[in-house]
């Protein structure tokens, strides 16, 4: 079977029934009836042969500028293994070439509308009525079982919030949980950090004050993608945990005030920490969208803003939009409220979910949380690796079943 330019398995869920070269592309029809068009230049760019892709690193050596921009196949066929085969003609000093593209790989990378839609992973936004409590998972199962880990990470990717129970009340236990996903992101607060009221606090987080809805480290060029807060002791009165879906707030602003939405997505606000030992600052819009307009991240943290520094004529509109956003962070119907218990970890997308806490009575007992950060990338990589292992098992199972026949 044709070599693939990656380390993944590509079970063949649909075979190629026909492949027809047309003016600018090849039209492939699959056994389930789907038709996918592949541009000639895309097919040449994705030739997986050992001259084009390094057989050990599986990284590309071929460069598209080494062939003419209008290169067209001489012949297209489905080879005896079911791969898409393409003969490329010799053109001036560029020698002829032959590509064999694995049908399972090709189907997974098809870019017709239906295939792209199938691959899209849209987050699902929520409010207090659609999500009365955070999705909850068992930490013991997550530590031992990749299926349980997978289920948790899919929920975190989809909803942006979760609670993991049964995590040992030990100061480093959160590091073991996050190691199941990937690498902890160290910051100027350390690898793991404490959240408790301190006599000489370095942040409002280390007081008993209420904290308004925020993401952590909006002061950084790249805000941590994931945050984990492990409750080890919670014997105080108050200190209620609050989560708000920043994407739902953004959707609501977009619906009720396109003008405010335009300000929040385009005008950079200023962010800065106040610290005796560091001076992190960044300018960025409060809502960041992807190229297609879908939501990528929010940046919210009232006590970490620097004085607004925008053109004179924009100040009033910027404050109006900012006020609208902050009013929505307080909307009862958007706030998910609960009380984290010892042994529970609140895990959330720090570039999407805003977290807050109620004030707590310092005298009434102790409240001690340990926290750390990681990245969305780490989560996505772990999910793909679990999926890759599942595909490899499926393929191995199919091969052994074939041998038994
Ligand atoms: Fe925080």
Convert the pLDDT of each residue in 18-48 to its tens digit.
Answer: 999 999 999 999 999 999 999 999 999 999 9
Question: From ligand 1's centre to the CA of 107, what distance in Å?
Answer: 43
Give the chain's mean pLDDT: 94
Question: From ligand 1's centre to the CA of 320, what distance in Å?
Answer: 25
Question: From ligand 1's centre to the CA of 228, what distance in Å?
Answer: 10
Question: From ligand 1's centre to the CA of 257, what distance in Å?
Answer: 28
Question: From ligand 1's centre to the CA of 199, what distance in Å?
Answer: 19
DSSP codes of every residue in 215-231: -S-TTSSS--SEEEEEE
- Confidence class of residue 365 from pLDDT cuts 50, 70 and 90? low
pTM of the prediction?
A: 0.92
**pLDDT at residue 274, as a whole number:** 85
| 268-271 CB contacts, 8 Å cutoff, 24+ apart | 268/310, 269/299, 269/305, 269/308, 269/310, 269/318, 269/322, 270/305, 270/306, 270/307, 270/308, 270/309, 271/218, 271/219, 271/299, 271/301, 271/304, 271/305, 271/306
Indicate if the pLDDT at residue 363 is higher than 70.
Answer: no
Question: From ligand 1's centre to the CA of 383, what distance in Å?
Answer: 26
Question: From ligand 1's centre to the CA of 204, what distance in Å?
Answer: 9
Residues ≥6 apart with Cβ < 8 Å to 255: none
| 202 vs 336, higher pLDDT | 336
Contact between 287 and 261 (Cβ < 8 Å): yes
Indicate if the pLDDT at residue 364 is higher than 60.
Answer: no
Question: From ligand 1's centre to the CA of 32, what distance in Å?
Answer: 49
Question: From ligand 1's centre to the CA of 402, what distance in Å?
Answer: 54
Neighbours of ion ligand 1 (CB under 5 A): 216
| Rounded-to-integer distance, Cα 325 and Cα 246, Å | 10
**pLDDT at residue 1, as a whole number:** 84
| Rounded-to-integer distance, Cα 264 and Cα 166, Å | 39
**pLDDT at residue 405, as a whole number:** 62
Question: From ligand 1's centre to the CA of 149, what distance in Å?
Answer: 24
């Amino acid at each position: 079977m044709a070599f693939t330019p990656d380390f993944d398995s590509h079970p063949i869920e649909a075979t190629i029934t026909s492949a027809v070269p047309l003016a600018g592309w090849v039209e492939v029809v699959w056994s389930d009836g789907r038709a996918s068009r592949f541009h000639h230049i895309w097919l040449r760019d994705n030739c997986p042969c050992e001259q084009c892709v390094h057989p050990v690193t599986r990284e590309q050596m071929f460069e598209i500028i080494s062939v003419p921009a209008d290169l067209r196949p001489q012949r297209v066929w489905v080879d005896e293994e079911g791969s898409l085969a393409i003969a490329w003609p010799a053109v001036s000093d560029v020698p002829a070439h032959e590509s064999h593209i694995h049908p399972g790989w090709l189907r997974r990378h098809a870019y017709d509308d239906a295939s792209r839609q199938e691959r899209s992973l849209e987050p699902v936004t929520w409010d207090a009525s659609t999500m009365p409590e955070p999705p909850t998972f068992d930490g013991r199962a997550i530590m031992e079982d990749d299926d349980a880990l997978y289920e948790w990470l899919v929920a975190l990717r989809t909803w942006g919030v979760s609670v993991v129970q049964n995590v040992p009340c030990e100061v480093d236990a959160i590091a073991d949980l996050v190691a199941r996903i990937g690498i902890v992101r160290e910051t100027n607060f350390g690898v793991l950090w404490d959240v408790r009221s301190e006599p000489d606090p370095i942040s409002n987080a280390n007081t008993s004050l209420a904290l308004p809805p925020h993401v952590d480290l909006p002061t950084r060029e790249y805000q941590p993608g994931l945050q984990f807060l492990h409750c080890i002791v919670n014997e105080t009165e108050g200190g209620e945990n609050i989560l708000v879906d920043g994407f739902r707030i953004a959707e609501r602003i977009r619906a009720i005030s396109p003008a405010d939405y335009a300000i929040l997505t385009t005008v950079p606000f200023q962010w800065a920490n106040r610290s005796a030992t560091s001076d992190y600052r960044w300018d960025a819009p409060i809502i960041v969208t992807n190229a297609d307009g879908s939501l990528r991240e929010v940046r919210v943290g009232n006590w970490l803003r620097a004085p607004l520094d925008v053109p004179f004529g924009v100040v009033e509109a910027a404050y109006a939009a900012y006020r609208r956003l902050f009013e929505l962070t307080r909307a009862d119907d958007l706030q998910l409220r609960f009380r984290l218990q010892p042994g529970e970890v609140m895990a959330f997308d720090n570039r999407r979910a805003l977290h807050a806490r109620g004030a707590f009575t310092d005298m009434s007992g102790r409240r001690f949380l340990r926290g750390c950060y990681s990245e969305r990338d780490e989560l996505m990589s772990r999910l793909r690796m679990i999926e890759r292992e599942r595909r490899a098992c499926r393929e191995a199972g199919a091969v052994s079943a074939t041998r038994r026949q």
